[in-house]
């Protein structure tokens, strides 16, 4: 039993990191620009399918990840220019635009790739065995990449002028603009980065799981949970929120029915929000 | 300036045209047989509906391009109105209403999903005798042939019933592998419950020890539940019913070496082939093993070629139940029944004709006395490395 639980703690942490990368996109977009982008899962889907398409046509997987992120970011840029920039600080409008975009992107991917699930060739087959615990090697790589990306994003925002500008914009856009921050450009940069991150999440996802047009929906909800659990606006909180969520789901599934796996994370989220309404790492 | 009299004449002519054209429509509409279709073409469970709507569309296109079909002295073409339910029961009910009341379709293909069927059934039953519904859903088994459900026929001999493949598959499993412990892993939805209802009594009756776990629809990572099942050490894992889950389950189970033997009743060969070096055994029901059938049967070869030409893409050999192919046959079978009945307007007479015929298409399809389709299927056993063994089963 100990091995089973330990295995799920490790596995949950890895899965949670996947939630974390979407959570990071959510926390950046909402925390800085005030835009609610529930369609982030669709940018993840774009990244996943682009990676799959390129990799199956012979492009090495690490190379295919780059255009996947760029295409997802480009789709994010267009979505921002066409819709999202008009929804700043308006939850309902952001939600409506997101629902519309989810429908459009899902239908487009149905046309392009059909509803048939597709699975990429194994990028890194096999599992690392420690006692009775088996951890797929690719999952470990994915975990490492996500941790590096989130930590790098944290330092980039905490230690650079751009990061300070972003935080200033989040606190008071008018004041930030008066202090020389080019706010429309900043907003675009945040959108590009968050959707590019979602594209990266999708590219990593494609190396682990099968793809289908509706895949984004589940992950954006998990990302949302992770972002709220970690505290909206907290970059490291998004990683920790995802990891905690993943571990709760994994370990909960050992002792309780797996049919309600999603509920375990939600129950803990509600319990934590009762005591810390701004999340574990959010500002009070 | 427009002359007032000319303007009056133009307006009057337009009005007359508006009144007379719809009046003329029924005359031309008589030459068209409308087939409505309610299937999930998108969404998580789209795999069945998407494929079946493709098969029907292909057959309709072929029939219409050939000039239609003749019943009595009249030649008819088919208008297929295929609507996407997205697997949502409420959506499907609204769509069925539209098909029946607005489009006045008397023949409905679908649904393949049990949750959708249960939702549309009460409405469809109001049109008993005026409608013919051809659905593949497993739950249709509970209603077909019962009073008040004469409108219903079941086009797919899924696992349930004496002519279903469930019993035959389990017999095959026990006989060929001697399996004594089977772990079931189904999604927590109507489809999963259907499988539980069918297979739990069957395993009990055959003395097979079993455990049943459910997972949340939408799950992609099964490592926790697979670890739990792996610790129970079953002879076979009997997972899910949709490829959207099977690819992940088989991959994750074999990647860590936890579970390597699989028994499937509704998935495709694809996940097994993809993980052929990780599996020990992968036993799967397929309506037809197309790779083999295409080489042996000219009808299958013709269908595969037509599919590739029509959709301009490769044939999805590793697709789940290939319902598309069966719906292709169903359209032709329905046309044959209309010819035999001598009418396109009387669904009850067409049903009577269907019940008395055997259609020899890609499958040999007939209906039992309740209205459930009986047709041949294949069981494929895939072994480590990709070696295949195909068994052809013909229900009596």
> How does DSSP classify residue A22?
H
- Does the pLDDT value for residue B133 go beyond 80? yes
Residue with tokens 């509600």: A270
Using beta carbons and an 8 Å cutoff, which residues of B are at the interface with A? 41-44, 46-47, 50, 188, 213-216, 218-221, 223-225, 227-228, 231, 243-244, 247-248, 251-252, 255-258, 274, 316, 319
Q: What is the chain A residue with the closest CA to B41?
A: A115
Q: Which residues lie closer than 8 Å to A204 by C-beta, 6 or more apart?
A: A18, A21, A65, A142, A145, A146
B214·A7 Cβ contact <8 A: no
pLDDT, one tens digit per residue, over A18-63 is: 898 888 888 888 888 888 888 999 999 999 999 999 999 999 999 9
Q: What is the chain A residue with the closest CA to B271?
A: A119
**What's the confidence (pLDDT) of residue A112?**
87
More confident position, B265 or B350: B350
B221·A119 Cβ contact <8 A: no
**What's the confidence (pLDDT) of residue A64?**
96
> What is the nearest CA distance from B104 to chain A, expressed in angstroms?
28
Q: Look up residue A28 and give its two tokens.
A: 């950046």
**What's the confidence (pLDDT) of residue B68?**
95
Report, as an integer, the average pLDDT of B310-321.
76
Q: Which CATH class is domain B166-288+379-393?
A: alpha beta
**What's the confidence (pLDDT) of residue B396?**
66
- Does the pLDDT value for residue B20 go beyond 60? no
Residue A99 sits at the chain B interface (C-beta within 8 Å): no
Domain residue limits, chain B: 28-160+292-376, 166-288+379-393
**What's the confidence (pLDDT) of residue B16?**
45
Is residue A102 a contact partner of residue A36, using CB atoms and an 8 Å limit?
Answer: no
**What's the confidence (pLDDT) of residue B161?**
67
- Does the pLDDT value for residue B3 go beyond 90? no
> Which of B84, B183, B192, B221 should one mutate to test binding to chain A, selecting the residue with the greatest count of A CBs within 10 A?
B221
More confident position, B4 or A9: A9
pLDDT, one tens digit per residue, over B50-86 is: 878 888 999 999 999 999 999 988 999 999 999 999 8
Among residues 234-263 of chain A, which lie with CB inside 8 Å of chain B? Answer: 249-251, 253-254, 257-262
A254·B219 Cβ contact <8 A: no
- Please check whether the domain covering B28-160+292-376 is classified as CATH 3.50.40.10: no
Q: Which residues lie closer than 8 Å to A96 by C-beta, 6 or more apart?
A: none
- Does the pLDDT value for residue B333 go beyond 90? yes
Residue B313 burial (10 A CB sphere; 0-12, 13-18, 19+):
exposed
pLDDT, one tens digit per residue, over A165-188 is: 888 887 787 888 888 888 788 888
Per-residue pLDDT of chain A (284 residues; tens, 9 = 90+): 777 888 888 888 888 988 988 888 888 888 888 888 889 999 999 999 999 999 999 999 999 999 999 999 999 999 999 988 888 778 888 889 988 999 899 888 888 887 777 888 889 988 888 877 888 899 999 999 999 998 998 888 888 888 888 888 877 878 888 888 887 888 888 889 999 999 999 999 999 998 988 888 888 889 999 999 988 878 888 888 999 999 998 888 888 888 888 888 889 899 999 988 888 887 75
The answer to whether the B28-160+292-376 and B166-288+379-393 domains have the same CATH topology is yes
Query: What does the DSSP assignment read for B234-296?
Result: -SEEEE-S-HHHHHHHHHHHHHTTS--EEEESS--SHHHHHTTTT-SEEEEEES--HHHHHHH
Helix (H) / strand (E) containing B106: none
Residue A277 sits at the chain B interface (C-beta within 8 Å): no
B224·A218 Cβ contact <8 A: no
Q: What is the chain B residue with the closest CA to A110?
A: B42
Cβ-Cβ contacts under 8 Å, B257 against chain A = 127, 134
For the entire predicted model, the pTM comes to 0.78
Is residue B195 a contact partner of residue B170, using CB atoms and an 8 Å limit?
Answer: no
Among the partner-chain residues A136, A210, A250, the one whose CB lies closest to the CB of B244 is A210
> What is the nearest CA distance from B45 to chain A, expressed in angstroms?
9
Residue A225 sits at the chain B interface (C-beta within 8 Å): no
B224·A8 Cβ contact <8 A: yes
3-class secondary structure, B155:
coil
> Which of A143, A258, A264, A266 should one mutate to test binding to chain B, selecting the residue with the greatest count of B CBs within 10 A?
A258
Among the partner-chain residues A7, A127, A262, the one whose CB lies closest to the CB of B216 is A262
Domains for chain A: give ranges and CATH numbers.
2-275 (1.10.3470)
% chain B with pLDDT above 90: 54
Residue A212 sits at the chain B interface (C-beta within 8 Å): yes
More confident position, B156 or A53: A53
The dihedrals phi and psi of B41, each to the nearest 5 degrees, come to -95, -15
Mean pLDDT of chain B: 86
Beta-ladder partners of B213 = B185
Mean pLDDT of chain A: 88
Q: What is the ipTM of this complex?
A: 0.83
- Does the pLDDT value for residue B288 go beyond 80? yes
Beta-ladder partners of A211 = A118
Confidence tier at B322 by pLDDT (50, 70, 90)? low
- Does the pLDDT value for residue B1 go beyond 70? no
> What is the nearest CA distance from A238 to chain B, expressed in angstroms?
20
> How does DSSP classify residue B372?
B
Query: What does the DSSP assignment read for B116-144?
Result: HHHHHHHHHHTTBTTBEEEE--GGGGGTT
Count of pairs with CB atoms under 8 A, one residue in A, one in B: 103
Confidence tier at B19 by pLDDT (50, 70, 90)? very low
**What's the confidence (pLDDT) of residue B12?**
47
3-class secondary structure, B237:
strand
Among the partner-chain residues A12, A125, A212, the one whose CB lies closest to the CB of B244 is A212
Please report how many Cα atoms fall inside a 13 Å half-sphere around the Cα of residue A56, on the Cβ side.
Answer: 14
B228·A4 Cβ contact <8 A: yes
Cβ-Cβ contacts under 8 Å, A135 against chain B = 256
Is residue B87 a contact partner of residue B115, using CB atoms and an 8 Å limit?
Answer: yes
Among the partner-chain residues A15, A115, A262, the one whose CB lies closest to the CB of B46 is A115
Among the partner-chain residues A125, A214, A254, the one whose CB lies closest to the CB of B224 is A254
> What is the nearest CA distance from B222 to chain A, expressed in angstroms?
9
Query: What does the DSSP assignment read for A178-225?
Result: HTT--HHHHHHHHHHHHHHHHHHHHHHHHTTS-B-TTHHHHHHHHHHH
3-class secondary structure, B380:
strand
pLDDT, one tens digit per residue, over B160-183 is: 666 677 888 888 889 888 999 999
Q: Residue A135 — left, alpha, or beta (φ > 0 → left; ψ -120 to 50 → alpha)?
A: beta
């Amino acid at each position: 039993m100990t091995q089973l639980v330990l295995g799920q703690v490790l596995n949950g942490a890895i899965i949670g990191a996947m939630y974390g990368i979407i959570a990071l996109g959510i926390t950046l977009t909402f925390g800085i620009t005030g835009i609610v982008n529930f369609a982030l899962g669709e940018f993840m889907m774009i990244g996943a399918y682009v990676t799959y398409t390129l990799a199956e046509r012979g492009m090495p997987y690490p190379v295919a990840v780059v255009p996947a992120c760029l295409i997802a970011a480009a789709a994010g840029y267009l979505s921002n220019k066409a819709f999202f920039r008009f929804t700043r600080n308006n939850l309902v409008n952001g939600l409506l635009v997101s629902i519309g975009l989810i429908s459009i992107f899902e239908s487009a991917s149905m046309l392009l790739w059909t509803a048939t699930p597709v699975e990429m060739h194994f990028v890194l087959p096999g599992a690392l065995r420690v006692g009775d615990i088996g951890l797929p090697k690719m999952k470990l790589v994915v975990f490492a990449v996500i941790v590096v990306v989130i930590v790098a994003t944290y330092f980039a925002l905490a230690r650079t002028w751009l990061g300070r500008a972003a935080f200033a914009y989040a606190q008071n856009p008018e004041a930030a603009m008066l202090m020389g921050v080019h706010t429309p450009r900043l907003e675009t940069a945040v959108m590009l980065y968050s959707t590019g991150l979602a594209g990266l999440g999708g590219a990593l996802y494609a190396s682990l799981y099968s793809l289908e047009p509706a895949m984004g929906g589940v992950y954006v909800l998990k990302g949302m949970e992770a972002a709220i659990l970690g505290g909206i606006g907290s970059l490291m909180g998004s990683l920790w929120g995802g990891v905690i969520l993943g571990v709760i789901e994994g370990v909960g599934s050992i002792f309780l029915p797996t049919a309600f796996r999603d509920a375990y994370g939600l129950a803990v989220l509600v319990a934590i929000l009762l005591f810390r309404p701004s999340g574990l790492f959010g500002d009070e | 300036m427009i002359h007032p009299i000319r303007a009056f004449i133009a307006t009057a002519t337009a009005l007359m045209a508006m009144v007379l054209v719809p009046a003329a429509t029924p005359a031309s509409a008589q030459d068209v047989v409308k087939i409505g279709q309610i299937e999930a073409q998108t969404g998580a469970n789209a795999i069945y509906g998407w494929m079946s709507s493709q098969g029907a569309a292909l057959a309709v296109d072929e029939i219409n391009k050939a000039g239609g079909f003749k019943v009595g002295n009249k030649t008819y073409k088919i208008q297929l109105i295929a609507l996407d339910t997205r697997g949502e029961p409420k959506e499907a009910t609204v769509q069925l209403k539209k098909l029946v009341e607005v489009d006045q379709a008397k023949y409905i293909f679908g649904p393949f999903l049990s949750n959708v069927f249960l939702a549309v059934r009460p409405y469809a039953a109001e049109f008993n005798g005026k409608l013919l519904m051809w659905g593949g859903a497993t739950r249709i088994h509970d209603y077909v042939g019962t009073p008040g459900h004469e409108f219903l026929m079941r086009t797919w001999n899924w696992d349930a019933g004496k002519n279903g493949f469930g019993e035959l598959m389990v017999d095959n499993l026990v006989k060929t592998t001697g399996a004594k412990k089977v772990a079931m892993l189904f999604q927590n939805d109507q489809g999963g419950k259907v499988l539980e209802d069918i297979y739990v009594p069957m395993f009990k009756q055959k003395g097979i020890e079993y455990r049943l776990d459910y997972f949340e629809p939408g799950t992609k990572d099964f490592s926790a539940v697979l670890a739990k099942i792996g610790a129970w050490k079953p002879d076979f894992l009997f997972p899910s019913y949709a490829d959207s889950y099977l690819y992940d389950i088989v991959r994750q189970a074999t990647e860590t070496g936890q579970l390597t033997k699989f028994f499937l009743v509704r998935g495709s060969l694809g996940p097994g082939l993809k993980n052929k070096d990780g599996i020990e055994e992968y036993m799967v029901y397929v309506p037809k093993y197309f790779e083999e059938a295409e080489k042996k049967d000219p009808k299958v070869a013709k269908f595969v070629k037509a599919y590739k030409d029509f959709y301009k893409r490769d044939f999805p050999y590793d697709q789940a139940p290939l319902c598309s192919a069966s719906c292709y046959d169903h359209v032709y079978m329905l046309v044959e029944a209309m010819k035999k009945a001598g009418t396109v307007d009387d669904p009850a007479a067409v049903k009577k004709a269907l019940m008395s015929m055997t259609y020899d298409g890609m499958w040999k399809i007939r209906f039992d006395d309740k209205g459930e389709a009986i047709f041949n299927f294949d069981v494929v056993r895939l072994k480590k490395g990709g070696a295949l063994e195909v068994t052809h089963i013909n229900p009596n």
